Amino acid sequence: MNLPNKLTMGRIFAIPVFIVVFLMGYRYAAAIIFVLAAFTDMLDGKIARKHNLVTNFGKLMDPLADKLLVMSALICMVELGDVAAWMVVVILGREFIITGMRQVAAAQGIVIAAGMTGKIKTVTQMTAIPLLILDNWPFSLLGFSLPMDQIFLWIALIMTIVSGVEYIVKNKQLFSM
């Protein structure tokens, strides 16, 4: 197993650790675990492309690991009352729809590459989550009156919808097969 795939697997193995730490109330430790796991998402892709280590395993597992990490965090936040359940349902619904479309496309030899709006969605989700975990820290320490955690959550939700619609429109031919 190459380094990018090990990083992806590390991200997956970090998820239950994150969940336990977060639900036990260790928010700073949970945020650190989340940020480190999210950082491996960027790192594994860069290493794979730079060193020509892109594999079918990585193509499948990397986006799955991202979705599992983000959804685990958001579901935990619903449990704790930090995020509205309807928002998580919208985000989760988009992920199921796009993942299903990718599977249908892959069965026909078509690769649906991540678009820029999808990448922005992921970045905004992975920015919102630590801010939410830490109750808007570090902005709360600075007397910053804007709730950046909520702003990033709303941006992530909007980008989730926009990128989902974009994927569906760009790949509408999959629905006629």
Q: In the chain, what are the domains?
A: 3-176 (1.20.120.1760)
pLDDT over threshold 90, residue 104: no
Beta carbons of 37 and 70 less than 8 angstroms apart: no
- Ranked by mean pLDDT, the top range of 19-28, 105-114, 135-144 is 19-28
How many Cβ atoms from other residues are within 10 Å of residue 163's Cβ? 21
How many Cβ atoms from other residues are within 10 Å of residue 83's Cβ? 23
Q: What is the pLDDT of residue 177?
A: 61
Q: Which of 29-33, 85-89, 168-172 has the lowest mean pLDDT?
A: 168-172
42-46 — which CB contacts under 8 Å span 24+ positions?
Answer: 43/7, 44/3, 44/4, 44/5, 44/7, 44/8, 44/11, 45/4
Tens digit of pLDDT for each residue in 51-78?
998 888 887 888 889 999 999 999 999 9
- Ranked by mean pLDDT, the top range of 75-84, 103-112, 168-177 is 75-84
